[in-house]
Amino acid sequence: MAPSPESDVPRSIRTDVIAIFPCCVGLTVVPGTSRRMEDDVNVMDVARSIGLADGSVTGTIDEADVLTALGELAKGDPENADLFGDAAARVQRTRSAGVEAHAAGVRATSPEAATVQLRYRAEMADIFTDLAIDVGLRRHRDLVDATS
């Protein structure tokens, strides 16, 4: 029986690669913890789910959709809630792409909610990309600390 390519790589290097490239994760357990990496929230999967990482980042997106996605990420990964909070603040500071007013009842239950603040998709995609990098760097740092 031939050894698997993974067994030829020292564990510390595999751990670093997994931290940097979580898409390559199999069933690896994070050193020093009982959680599996594939159970972690993936920022880019969430970005993709709201249409920010599919290669088409033109046009606008409802700010509330972006903030809701960030809130869900924060609930799913409380260790990085500060990063998600910073990203939410950054969303609110980006330039406006305009405001849409919807007729009452179309999308809202109150007159205030009938107004939709729009943001540019490209700027929101940049925020999610930066957030994914920040979360990845923090996890990598934590893994390095756990193995040291």
Domain spans of the chain, in order of start: 1-40, 42-136
- CA–CA distance, 143 with 148 (Å, rounded to integer): 9
pLDDT, position 112: 60
Take residue 116 and report the two structure tokens written for it. Answer: 């939709």
Segments of the chain scoring below 70 in pLDDT: 1-41, 103-113, 148
pLDDT, position 135: 94
Among residues 64, 63, 65, 44, which one has the least CA distance to residue 55? Answer: 44
pLDDT, position 104: 61
* Phi and psi angles of residue 107, each rounded to the nearest 5 degrees, phi first: -135, 0
pLDDT, position 40: 54
* Cα–Cα separations (whole angstroms), residue 26 to 23, 39, 76, 93, 111: 9, 11, 20, 38, 48
